[in-house]
Amino acid sequence: MTFELSMVQTAGWSVVLLVIGMWLKNRVHFFQRFAIPSPVIGGFLFALINLVLNQTGLLNIKFDVTLQSFFMVMFFTTVGYGASLKVLKAAGSKVGLFLILATLLCIVQNIVAFGLAPVVHLDPALALMTGSTPMTGGHGVSGGIAPLVEQSGVKGAETVAYTAATFGLIAGSLMGGPVANRLIVKHDLMNKASSGSKVSVDESLIAVRKRDLNSDRILRAFILILFAMFLGSFLTDGVNALIGQFTDKAAFPSYMGSIVVAIIVRYISDRRSSKGAEELVPPEEIDVVGNVGLNIFLAMALMNIQLWQLADVAGPLIVLLAAQVVLMWLWANFVTFRFMGADYDAAILTAGHCGFGMGATPNGMANMDSVVSKYKPSRLAFFILPIVGGMFIDFTNLFNILAFLSFA
C-alpha cells in the first residue's frame, strides 16, 4: 500500500518529528552528551520506522518535499549574511590561520575519500559523500550537495551522506576530549604560558546582544533573506548554465547565488554601520530565521532518507568512515595543535576541531567546554571556533567539494 503526503502535510509531519526529537533530546543523556540535533533525532527515528515498513512491504510512504529546498536555501542564505568580512578582518591572524587549516582539512578529507574509492570498489562521487560534505559540512551541507549527486545518477548519495554526518557527530564528540587531555598532560601545558594569552581578543565580535522582540526587525530579516534568495536564484542559474557549457559533472547548489548576494549585502551593511548609520542587516533576527529554516529542512531531509540503500555499501562505508576518523586524529594532533601554537589554547582548539571537523560547530564547542571544565578557561579557543565554524567554513568547503565532484 502506498500513502502519499501533500506539500503541507509533509511540512507538518516534519515539524511533528522535530518536536519528538526535541522531547527525546531533553530526556536522553546520550543525545545531550553528543549534541545530536533534534531534527536528526526525530528524522532518523522515522527513517528507521520507514525502513521496517518498506522491508516488510506493509507501507510505502511518499513525501512532497517541495518546501525542503525552500528551507534549505533560506538557511544557507542566513549563513551568507553571517559571513561578516568586517569580523574576519578584525578577528586577527589566529582566526585566519585556523580558517586555512580547517579548509585544508576539507581538502584532505576529500582526497582520502576519493583515493579510497577504487580500493573499496565504490563510485568516486558516492565515496565523496563520506568526505568533507558530511564531515566538516555536517547535515546542512550534506542536504545541499547530496541531492545534486543523487540527481546526477549516483543512487544512495543522500543516505550515505546523512549517515556519515550522523556518525561524524558521535565520533568527533568522542575524540575531542581525550585528544586534548592527552596533549595537555603530555606537554605539561597547564604549567606553560599560552601564546594566546598575549593575543587581544575582541569578544564583542561574537557577543550575543539581548534586545526586546521587534516585529519590524524580524520583518526586515525575512525581506533581506527572500531578496537574496530571489536575486541569488538568477545568479546560480546563470553560473550553472555557463558551467554546463564545459562539463556536466559539476554544478553549484541552488543556494550558492543566495550566499553570494547575502555576503555582498552584509558587506554593505557593515560599511554603513562603521560610518555611524543604522545597520541594514539585523544579525540576531537573521540567525533566528536561519535556525528555524535549518531545523525544518533537516527534519524533512532526514525523515525521507532510504536506509535500505545502505545494504550494498555497508562494507565500503565502514572503511571510508574509519579512514576519516584516523585522518581527524592525525590532523588534530600534528596539524591543528602544532600550527595553532602547541600551547594550552591550541589544545583546547584541537578538541573543538575534532567535533567541528567531523560534526558541527556546536559539537566542537561542547568538546571544548568539557575540557576547560576540567582545567581552565581558554578565551582564544572559544573566540576562534564559532567565527570560523559559524561564518566562513561552509563557503570555502563548498568550492572544495564542487572541485572534487567535477573529477568524480
Instruction: Report pLDDT for 360.
Output: 84
Residues listed for the chain: 408
Cβ atoms < 10 Å from Cβ of 150 = 20
**Beta-carbon contacts of residue 379 (< 8 Å; ≥ 6 apart):** 196, 201, 203
Top mean pLDDT of 24-38, 128-142, 242-256, 300-314 is at 128-142
What was the pLDDT predicted at 245?
Answer: 81
- Give the orientation angle of helix 283-303 with respect to helix 215-244, to 10 degrees: 60
CB atoms within 10 A of CB 230: 12
The fraction of the chain above a pLDDT of 90, given in percent, is 51
Residue 406 sits at φ, ψ, to 5 deg, of -70, -20
Task: Determine the average pLDDT of the residues in 182-190.
Answer: 91
Q: 153 pLDDT exceeds 70?
A: yes
Q: Phi first, then psi: what are they for 375, rounded to 5°?
A: -110, -95
Q: How far is CA 145 from CA 80, 161, 327, in A?
A: 17, 9, 22
User: Quick one: cell of 128?
Assistant: 565523496
Amino acid present at 99: L
Q: Give the phi and the psi of residue 275 in degrees, each rounded to 5.
A: -100, 10
Q: Which of 183, 118, 119 is nearest to 348 (CA)?
A: 183
What's the pLDDT at 209?
A: 64
pLDDT of residue 202: 59
Q: Does the pLDDT at position 170 exceed 80?
A: yes
Which tens digit of pLDDT belongs to each residue from 62-118? 999 899 999 999 988 998 898 777 777 776 788 899 999 999 999 999 999 999 999
Average pLDDT score, the chain: 88
Q: pTM of the full predicted structure?
A: 0.83
Q: How far apart are CA 129 and CA 304, in angstroms?
A: 17
Average pLDDT of span 141-170: 91
> Confidence class of residue 160 from pLDDT cuts 50, 70 and 90?
very high
16 close to 295: Cβ distance less than 8 angstroms: no
E strand or H helix that includes residue 354: helix 344-358
Contacts with 21 (C-beta within 8 Å, 6 or more apart), sequence order: 37, 38, 39, 40, 41, 42, 43, 45, 299
pLDDT of residue 211: 66
342: number of Cβ within 10 Å: 17
Q: What is the pLDDT of residue 191?
A: 80
What's the pLDDT score for residue 112?
Answer: 97
**What is the per-residue pLDDT for 250?**
62
pLDDT higher than 90, residue 15: yes
Q: pLDDT tens across 192-220, in order?
A: 766 655 566 656 555 666 667 788 899 99
Quote the pLDDT of residue 108.
97
User: What angle do the packed helices 93-116 and 393-405 form, to 10 degrees?
Assistant: 30
Spatial separation of the C-alpha atoms in residues 231 and 234, rounded to whole Å? 6
Q: Is 56 exposed, middle or buried (0-12, 13-18, 19+ CB in 10 A)?
A: exposed
Q: Give how far the C-alpha of residue 83 lies from the chain's centroid of Cα atoms, to the nearest Å.
A: 14
Residue 373 pLDDT more than 80?
yes
pLDDT grade for 152, boundaries at 50, 70 and 90: confident
Provide the β-strand partners of residue 3.
Answer: 61
Closest residue by Cα to residue 135 from 294, 395, 353, 342: 353
Q: How far apart are the first and last CA of the chain?
A: 38
In the three-class reduction of DSSP (H, G, I as helix; E, B as strand; rest coil), residue 62 is classed as strand
Q: How confident is the model at residue 324 (pLDDT cuts 50, 70, 90)?
A: very high
Q: What are the phi and psi torsion angles at 231 (to 5°)? A: -65, -40
Residue 307 has pLDDT above 60, yes or no: yes
